[in-house]
């Protein structure tokens, strides 16, 4: 077989696909063939590298050179300089915001330095559509070993010993859940992978399915063996076409090799998988609603108990785990429970993937050991806040979590600490906000999301979130009263306590956490009728500082409603009755004479 | 139906192909590939090197292309880096590089 001296890895996750990686790949392919390098160079499409902000990303081995923002026009230079002559193309190498010197190797990039990749280990490293590449990196060894060398009880014991907790939000012990499902009597059981991923901004599950689908297939088969199930379902939202496609390809390949199907590895164990597409309702990520959706019913939750491990899909014992939870399983079985438990904290073992978004320099997916501080994630990995602005808050746990202030930046990230400080781990959304964010508006935004996603089955969630949203809208429009804050607290307590499922139980969290840490901002809205961050339009009022105004007329020219009057070299005046508070005049004034 | 032995066979076969993605091979052979080297015939040297490595099944050897600072008349230069030591060979032809791989590189890779 020919010896291929160089591999060009092109990130083909959703992020890089939308920034044009396919055209880049095609252009590189054409250049490689134009220069006659086809037999020496292999081009590989991989899953996500995580650093979505700087895509399309291309990595060239054996050097490990990391190129970013690559465009099809760069292909000729990249191929002739790097692949033919061995000279790195400096202008395409990564440059840190703080350090303009190019970084050649991805291991030297701040974004990756503190990361520890377990669930994402193969993402960006292998061709997700090639089962052999997965096998080359020890893929399916854990399944083979479990089926031929371990009893189901030993598998469950190992998962329990590892300390792995569910990454879908609840943080329940995975090993215990497997044990419950195994103990539930009955000849028919199911394994379900929850890939609904409804948290706005979170995309780790999508990335794992896109970059390493075989890890999920392997883990689900192991789970099937452990609990005594022979059929599994992956419930994934239809808005994830690349993930669905790669998973379908992976399932077909596993079937063709006999890794799925009857008598796997010559044992008596049989297991197969099907994909079920979800329509993208947030509530369908809740396990009982998800089960209803797979059964073809309307996706609405049911009271628990009974838990799915006892009575789930078609009333049979069902094990439901999240994608990231499953992604850890093959490595736990291969490397041992102690290896996994050595990472993280006393009660939160292993790593967690976060989707870094918002006002942060390095947006993307990061996997970090549990126990790392928010500060390390936001500043060391995320590169801090852009435009020299100050950090104001970070939101963890998505719509069920809360906003934490700067005073809590040194909080270690683990299940218990995040809950103790008034937020939660959730599925791993981490949204960073700078000084320009209005916390009342942020609380309103999240409540608007949960309100819209409430399935309407139970009154506290359906009506309660609506009333809360009305109050928050009132406050942001300047019609709030001091009593509204008390009303929000009262409603929150009722909704949390009386709702049927986790959606309602946690929907008030963003409001509660904001009230806890940013109460002064609420008070400014209801008492002073001011939005200190200048976000809530109704509370804004623009005026000209006479001493600073030079009468240049620039503001007058840009005002779309002619609300500014004044002649050249005269102090200008804003007519507040006419002003629509669009703010267009503020950046136009060279003398900073217009204030909100 | 796949057996465990067949699974392991796929693993060792494909793992060899993926070694290039590790950037940590103890044995490296660098073929000079700057403009002068290319015009002196380094592409043919590269082709011969790759062919010989394939024939010998030396999957742990890493091949790199880059500029090597020697006189134009000394091209094609080839650098063999094995276990921390570097030896520079000058005026290499395809035949010479094959011999180099058969001797120096094969020994180091073993
Ligand atoms: C409203 C709501 C939405 C949820 N969405 C998801 C989701 O998108 N993905 C997920 O894995 N778990 C989600 N969960 C949690 C699931 O109900 C369930 O706990 C989880 O899938 C179990 O897997 P784990 O133990 O591996 O975390 C959601 C829960 C609620 C209440």
Beta bridge partners of A396: A402, A430
Residues within a 6 A CB radius of ligand 1:
A 166-170, 172, 194, 196-198, 282-283, 285-287, 320-322, 325, 427, 501-503
- How open is the CA angle A36-A40-A45, to the nearest 5 degrees? 100
Q: Is A255 on the interface with B (CB under 8 A)?
A: no
A360 Cα to the center of ligand 1, angstroms: 27
Q: Which tokens belong to A445? A: 């935004």
Contact A128, A142 (CB under 8 A): no
Q: Are residues A398 and A421 in the same domain?
A: yes
Indicate whether B2 pLDDT > 90. Answer: yes
**Closest approach of chain A CAs to the CA of B22, in angstroms?**
6
Domain boundary among A434, A449, A473: A434
Domains in chain A, number: 5
For chain B, the average pLDDT equals: 91
- Identify whether A367 is part of a domain: yes
Q: Is A595 on the interface with B (CB under 8 A)?
A: no
Residue A518 structural domain? 439-528
**Host H or E run for residue A194:** strand A190-195
- Identify whether A125 is part of a domain: no
| Contact map slice: A 98-127 vs B, CB within 8 A | 125-126
Nearest alpha-carbon partner for B71 in B30, B24, B46, B34: B34
Report the CATH number at residue B101: 3.40.30.10
Q: Are strands A6-11 and A41-46 parallel, antiparallel or unpaired?
A: parallel
Taking the C-alpha atoms of residue A511 and residue A399, their distance in angstroms, rounded to an integer, is: 10
**Closest approach of chain A CAs to the CA of B9, in angstroms?**
9
Q: Are residues A505 and A547 in the same domain?
A: no
A386 Cα to the center of ligand 1, angstroms: 33
- Identify whether A122 is part of a domain: no
Domain boundary among A434, A451, A481: A434
pLDDT at B109: 62
Nearest alpha-carbon partner for A5 in A84, A67, A68: A84
| Contact map slice: B 79-98 vs A, CB within 8 A | none
Taking the C-alpha atoms of residue A413 and residue A426, their distance in angstroms, rounded to an integer, is: 11
Report the CATH number at residue A31: 3.40.30.10
Q: Is A8 on the interface with B (CB under 8 A)?
A: no
ipTM: 0.93
Indicate whether B84 pLDDT > 90. Answer: no
| Contact map slice: A 43-62 vs B, CB within 8 A | 61-62
- Identify whether A164 is part of a domain: yes
Residue B26 — pLDDT band, cuts 50, 70, 90? confident
Dihedral Cα A263, A265, A267, A272, nearest 10 deg: -40
Q: Is A409 on the interface with B (CB under 8 A)?
A: no
> In this complex, do B7 and A138 lie within 8 Å of one another by their Cβ atoms?
no
> In this complex, do A1 and B54 lie within 8 Å of one another by their Cβ atoms?
yes
Residues of B in contact with A132 (CB under 8 A): 10, 13-14
**Closest approach of chain A CAs to the CA of B11, in angstroms?**
4
Q: Are residues A100 and A230 in the same domain?
A: no
More confidently predicted of A24 and B62: A24
Taking the C-alpha atoms of residue A277 and residue A266, their distance in angstroms, rounded to an integer, is: 32
Q: Which residues contact A261 (CB under 8 A, 6 or more apart)?
A: A255, A270, A271, A272, B1
Indicate whether B107 pLDDT > 80. Answer: no
More confidently predicted of B61 and A11: A11
Q: Are residues A20 and A100 in the same domain?
A: yes
Q: Are residues A94 and A178 in the same domain?
A: no
Q: Averaged in consecutive runs of 10 residues, what is the pLDDT profile of chain A (596 residues)? A: 91 95 98 96 96 95 94 98 96 87 88 95 97 98 98 98 96 98 97 95 96 98 98 97 98 98 98 96 97 97 96 98 98 98 97 97 96 97 95 93 95 95 91 96 96 96 97 96 95 97 95 95 94 92 94 96 95 94 93 93
Domain boundary among A111, A146, A176: A111
């Amino acid at each position: 077989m020919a010896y291929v001296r160089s591999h060009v890895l092109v990130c083909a996750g959703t992020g890089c696909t939308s920034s044009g990686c396919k055209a880049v790949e095609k252009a590189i392919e054409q250049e490689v063939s134009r220069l006659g390098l086809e037999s020496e160079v292999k081009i590989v499409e991989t899953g996500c590298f995580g650093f979505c902000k700087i895509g399309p990303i291309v990595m060239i081995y054996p050097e490990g050179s990391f190129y970013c923002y690559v465009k099809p026009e760069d292909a000729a230079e990249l191929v002739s300089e790097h692949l033919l002559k061995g000279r790195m193309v400096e202008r395409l190498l990564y440059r840190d915001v703080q350090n303009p010197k190019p970084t050649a190797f991805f291991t030297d990039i701040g974004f990756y330095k503190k990361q520890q990749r377990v669930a994402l280990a193969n993402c960006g490293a292998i061709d997700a559509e090639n089962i052999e590449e997965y096998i080359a990196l020890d893929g399916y060894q854990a399944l083979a070993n479990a089926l031929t060398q371990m009893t189901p009880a030993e598998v469950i014991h190992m998962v329990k010993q590892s300390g792995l907790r569910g990454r879908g939000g609840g943080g329940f012990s995975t090993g215990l859940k497997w044990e419950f499902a195994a103990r539930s009597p009955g000849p028919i059981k199911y394994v379900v992978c929850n890939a609904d991923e409804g948290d706005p901004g979170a995309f780790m599950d999508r990335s794992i399915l896109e970059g390493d689908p075989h890890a999920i297939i392997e883990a689900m088969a192991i789970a099937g063996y452990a609990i005594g199930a022979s059929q599994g379902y992956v419930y994934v939202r239809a808005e994830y076409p690349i993930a669905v496609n790669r998973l379908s390809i992976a399932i077909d390949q596993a079937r063709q090799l006999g890794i799925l199907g009857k008598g796997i590895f010559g044992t008596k164990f049989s297991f197969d998988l099907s994909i079920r597409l979800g329509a993208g309702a947030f509530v369908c990520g809740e396990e009982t609603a998800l089960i209803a959706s797979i059964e073809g019913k309307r996706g609405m939750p049911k009271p628990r108990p009974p838990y799915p491990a006892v009575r789930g899909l078609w009333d049979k014992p069902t094990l439901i785990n999240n994608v990231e939870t499953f992604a850890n399983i093959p490595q736990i079985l291969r490397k041992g429970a102690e290896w996994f438990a050595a990472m993280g904290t006393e009660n939160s073992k292993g790593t967690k993937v976060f989707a870094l978004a918002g006002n942060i320099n390095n947006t993307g997916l990061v996997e970090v050991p549990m126990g790392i501080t928010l500060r390390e994630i936001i500043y060391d990995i995320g590169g801090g806040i852009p435009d020299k602005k100050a950090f104001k808050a970070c939101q963890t746990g998505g719509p069920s979590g809360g906003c934490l202030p700067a005073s809590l930046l040194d909080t270690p990230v683990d299940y218990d600490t995040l809950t103790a400080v008034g937020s939660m781990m959730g599925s791993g959304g981490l949204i960073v906000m700078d000084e320009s964010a209005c916390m009342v508006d942020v609380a309103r935004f999240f409540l608007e999301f949960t309100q819209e996603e409430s399935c309407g089955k139970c009154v506290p969630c359906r009506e309660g979130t609506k009333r809360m949203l009305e109050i928050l809208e009132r406050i942001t429009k300047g019609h709030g009263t001091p009593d509204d804050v008390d009303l929000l607290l009262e409603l929150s307590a009722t909704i949390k306590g009386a709702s049927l499922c986790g959606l309602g139980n946690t929907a008030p969290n963003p409001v509660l956490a904001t009230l806890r840490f940013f109460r002064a901002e609420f008070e400014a809205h209801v008492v002073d009728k001011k939005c200190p961050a200048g976000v809530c339009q109704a509370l804004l009022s623009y005026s000209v500082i006479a001493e600073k105004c030079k009468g240049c007329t620039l503001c007058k020219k840009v005002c779309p409603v002619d609300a500014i009057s004044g002649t050249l070299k005269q102090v200008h005046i804003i007519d507040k009755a006419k002003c629509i508070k669009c703010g267009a005049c503020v950046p136009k004034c060279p003398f900073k004479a217009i204030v909100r | 139906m796949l057996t465990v032995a067949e699974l392991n066979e796929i693993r060792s076969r494909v793992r060899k192909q993926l070694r290039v993605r590790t950037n940590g091979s103890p044995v490296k052979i660098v073929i000079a590939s700057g403009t002068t080297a290319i015009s002196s015939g380094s592409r043919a040297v590269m082709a011969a090197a790759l062919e010989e490595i394939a024939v010998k099944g030396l999957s742990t050897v890493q091949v790199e292309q880059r500029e090597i600072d020697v006189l134009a008349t000394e091209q094609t230069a080839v650098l063999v880096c094995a276990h921390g030591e570097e030896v520079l060979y000058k005026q290499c032809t395809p035949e010479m590089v094959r011999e180099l791989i058969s001797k120096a590189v094969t020994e180091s890779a073993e």
